[in-house]
Amino acid sequence: MTKVYLGLGSNLGNRARNIYVALRRLGDTIQLDQVSSLYETEPVGLVDQPCFLNLVCGGETDLSPEALLRLAKTIEREMGRKEGLRFGPRVVDIDILLYDDLVTDTPRLEIPHPRLHERAFVLVPLNEIAPELVHPRLGASVQQLLHKAASLKRVRLYSVTDAPAND
């Protein structure tokens, strides 16, 4: 079994439900043992779109990295994600952040996630569940990377009382 960390996000429809449905679907195949709180975050890249909800989960799997990517893409597609603008709105997004200490770069898959260390919306929830985890390319802990990250003010803990009617 291999330890993996995945980032989940949604900014269309019932965002919280979308994330928890995807999480449950992942849990059918991956032994999830860590799930962060939900965080509301401003979009990155294409900013003219709704805010995202994000979380990070950790677990163990016997899937290869490629099989894990196929599982993530299948769940996204079956939940209604359409191909569209890069960084655009989406029902659900599932990213492989880390796959044990594997470092790989193929045309379809880069592990660790290439922008993990730049994204507060990933680092904040990852720090909640695994602050001492070391980035295999950078040799720094999640906690250290978080201290260097910009845009922390754009990430806030999400509460059910904050939820609009469609969340």
138 φψ region: left (φ > 0), alpha (ψ -120 to 50), beta (else): alpha
Which residues lie below 8 Å from residue 66, measured CB to CB, with a gap of 6+? 108, 109
At 53 the three-state DSSP class reads: strand
Q: Is 15 a catalytic residue?
A: no
* Annotated catalytic residue, options 15, 81, 108, 154: 81
Rounded CA gap, 34 and 126, in Å?
10
Rounded CA gap, 70 and 31, in Å?
17
* Annotated catalytic residue, options 70, 90, 115, 167: 90
* Annotated catalytic residue, options 15, 33, 86, 93: 93
Q: Is 115 a catalytic residue?
A: no
Cβ atoms < 10 Å from Cβ of 16: 18
Q: What angle do CA 56, 20, 12 make, to 5 degrees?
A: 95
Q: Is 81 a catalytic residue?
A: yes
Q: How far is CA 136 from CA 17, 28, 76, 132, in A?
A: 32, 27, 27, 12
| Closest to 81 in 3D by CA, of 68, 66, 94, 63 | 94
* Annotated catalytic residue, options 15, 25, 95, 119: 95
Q: Is 86 a catalytic residue?
A: no
Catalytic residues: 81, 90, 93, 95
